[in-house]
Structure 1
Amino acid sequence: MTPTLSHLSALLRDTAAAEILPRLQGTEAHHKSDGSLVTQSDLAVQARLTETLARDFPGVPLLGEEMSETEQQRILADNGRGVWVLDPVDGTSNFVSGFPGFAISLALVEDGRVTLGAVLDPVRDECFTAARGVGAFLDGEPIHTQARSAQLKDCLAMIDMKRLPPEVLPALFRPGGFGSQRNLGAVALDWCWLAQGRVQLYLHGGQRLWDYAAGRLIAEEAGAAALHYSTWGAQPSQALGLESRRAIAAANPHLLDVWLDFLRPLWDGASD
């Protein structure tokens, strides 16, 4: 069977209905060694999708957030037939707190590139999907980024403050920047909201492969321009890896250039 976007959408909706929505009213969480949270839903979603994807697409392994880094490295290094990349609950802190900003994020990586992506927001029942070279979709309908102008003051920015070096924040809020700022706390949804035109600028200080694999493809297929960096001020990195990446993106290439010009002074003051 060849993966299709409609099949992935149905799979994520079925999984959310079984493993996430019944636990919305309360779930126990535990801290992992890196300090992040994990719930029974994270583990159940990963187990269910591992089993279902192995049945539907045999021979293609799954790399999930809730597995050891050693196992993740092994799977990513040996992905001759492709590899599924899964964040079972992106935005676990939101999920635990009852904040409606979390998602299942699933991507297919082939030959070092993400070729398919699907992100389900189970609360809003919105499923964003994309296939490389085909386009991006919301519930099967094409979507495109939107920007009213090329001026930052007319743009809504999605910015994750938590992972930015604190010393750069004064420069980020200097005059001449974005019109206003938001933060969802779920990387996959950040990218999808950029794709849908709900925000025009994006800045994030640290996201992992399972956080961004599907979402970045969806945003780029919708018309966004995006860059990932291993450290601030370094050359952008296109290779997929397990290390944390800094992300800068905008609704279109021209707006990204303007955003980068505004952000460049921040790099000089960043600690990394």
Structure 2
Amino acid sequence: MSRRARVTPAEAGLPDGGARRRTPGLRREEVAVLAGVGASWYQWLEQGRDISVSPQVLDAVARVLRLSDAERRHLYLLAGLNPPAPEVAPEKRDMCEGLRRLIDTWMPYPAHIMDAYYNCVMYNDAAAVVLGMRPDITQNCLVDFFTDPLYRSRSKSWERNARTVVAQFRAASSARPQDGGYQALLDELTGASPEFARLWAERDIEDAGQIRKELDHPLVGLLCVESTAMKVPARPDLTIVLHTPLDEANTAAKLEWLASPEGRRGAMYPVAG
């Protein structure tokens, strides 16, 4: 009822005839006509009665009431249905400047942001120095994990983490089986890496979370970090990956040195590995 009251007949494409209404917004009968459902059925829906509801009808009602993506998913929950996958609201597509500030503030620790298909959207300076992120690689975190020789040479935990990375990719792609972007990425990885193909055939599945990484950096030696993948509800298409130093190998101090002017100068010169 509250959302019905927000929509004027003119906004819904109905003539209002200039007559005053006792209540603001659309009448129940008008919503029913615009959504293509019966007036009595729509009244029962508003009253929360135990009726049969389909996703198609809820989407029609959501369209008429101009619900946001969050409101549409909430409507599904109220109706007892599994909500659809979150979508990015148009007004939230310009969040990248704020996310850039977030990962830059995470310095001197590595951080990067990737889209639903593991393409790297942005990374901070520490991710470049520590993880080897740079413009001349594919800029796809999953492909580079398996094909970038620089990262492979630094990762002491690669064998252990590869199984987890593939299992997490299967979980993400299984949630959207009709998405051609995941199939294209799967085809690329299967052709580029026999190791990925072997792990994919094992059919392991695992939710994204935290991964321990051990890196052998050419300037400071062993680094032990924990990467945490986090979602931003307003941008469900993006994942923020933050790397936190563990209390081992003096990792925090080493990362701080790598971000210092002296460490940056050292990283400018070619080093084996």
TM-score of the superposition, structure 1-length normalised?
Answer: 0.22
Max Rg structure: 2
More helix by share: 2
Give the number of the structure whose residues are more often strand, by fraction: 1
TM-score by length of 2: 0.22
